[in-house]
Chain A
């Protein structure tokens, strides 16, 4: 190291010249006043981005940006890695089987419910019942969701029945 220092001694003597470079006389007398004035006026803070603040607070970020600027290959590989991460996460999300948690009754439950309802009944009975359930439905303030029957048509319990011209005479 001493050898190196000796080698650079002439250069260091030359660099002393830089210390004699001085701003105009009286320059520093007004400097702090100008700084304070700029602070009071609002200064350049507004026009500066958040990036500069981040560079001061997190110097590693500046090194990362510096590496990107100095070596485009680093920026490319970083970009490729980010893309690969996005693509692999999409692929993963599509391959993994999705098993939703059902909050509504399944179709088999609905069929069972219908089976209970699907007892033979007269047209008048079924109409009256349907009207009641419809009234209950329209009066309800519950959120509109698929009813237990699976479809609104099931609420009416319409089932094909043989048509007859004879009305059953009272028993």
Chain B
């Protein structure tokens, strides 16, 4: 099943991160790197980490709303993945497998942390102030756009943290990270219908929490 145009739009990477991202490797090169890493080549694994570090970090960060936690969990996920590489048979793509490890680790962490939510948000990239979609959300209300956006960021993160982990994950992977329903189903190990229903419910919840900003 294909994604809607808005889904496709969501797949566009973060504008701020695009410049620092290493050149993507093709599937064959990645397979070669994985095979070398399976044989214990840390240089090859370093390259794999560079390829996926931003997306893995971002997924964990958006799930936890805490930079320090995301840093620890992302590193642990990569370490865990390296030690589990021998069990990777290539049945799924490497990044789906990696995502699954990171997501499992994050959900376990969030369950242990329970309701003790402490946000440690990253700063907004200065380009956010020039994004017409975001400007439209705040410019009517305040003369200081950056402060308004920061306030909006806090409200949005607080609303996200009110969602259950599976619902939050569906929103993060689809609406923030830009993964397709099919890819999310593989990462979450459920069927596409479940992904769609979780996404729909999560958006409904978020819309209710953020209703005053969405008028």
A56 interface neighbour in B78, B101, B171, B207, Cβ under 8 Å = B101
Is A125 located at the chain interface by the 8 A CB criterion? no
User: In the docked arrangement, what's the CA distance between A81 and B47, Å?
Assistant: 50
Known A-B contacts A13-B133, A21-B122, A52-B105; A31 and B214 likewise in contact (beta carbons under 8 Å): no
Contact flags B112-141 to A (C-beta < 8 A → 1, else 0): 000000000111110110010110110000
Nearest-neighbor residue (CB-CB) of A26 within chain B: B20
Nearest-neighbor residue (CB-CB) of A23 within chain B: B122
A22 lies within 8 A of B122 (CB) = yes
Nearest Cβ in chain A — how far from B105, in angstroms? 7
Is B203 located at the chain interface by the 8 A CB criterion? yes
B84 interface neighbour in A12, A40, A56, Cβ under 8 Å = A56
Q: Which residues of A contact B17 (CB under 8 A)?
A: 22
B136 lies within 8 A of A52 (CB) = no
Nearest-neighbor residue (CB-CB) of B160 within chain A: A18
User: In the docked arrangement, what's the CA distance between A39 and B77, Å?
Assistant: 11
A36 lies within 8 A of B42 (CB) = yes
Is B82 located at the chain interface by the 8 A CB criterion? yes
User: In the docked arrangement, what's the CA distance between A3 and B176, Å?
Assistant: 21
Interface of B is mostly: helix
User: In the docked arrangement, what's the CA distance between A138 and B153, Å?
Assistant: 93
Is A124 located at the chain interface by the 8 A CB criterion? no
Residues 93-128 of A at the B interface (beta carbon under 8 Å): none
B4 lies within 8 A of A17 (CB) = no
Q: Which residues of B contact A20 (CB under 8 A)?
A: 14-16, 124-125, 127-128, 131, 134
A19 lies within 8 A of B50 (CB) = no
Is B36 located at the chain interface by the 8 A CB criterion? no
B200 lies within 8 A of A4 (CB) = yes
B84 lies within 8 A of A38 (CB) = no
Nearest Cβ in chain A — how far from B113, in angstroms? 15
A19 lies within 8 A of B15 (CB) = yes
Contact flags B57-96 to A (C-beta < 8 A → 1, else 0): 1000110000100010011101110111001000000000
B61 interface neighbour in A12, A17, A23, A32, Cβ under 8 Å = A23
A11 lies within 8 A of B214 (CB) = yes
Q: List 6 A-B contacts (CB under 8 A).
A: A18-B62, A21-B123, A22-B16, A35-B79, A36-B49, A39-B83
Shortest beta-carbon contacts, A-B, top 4: A20-B128, A43-B79, A32-B49, A13-B133
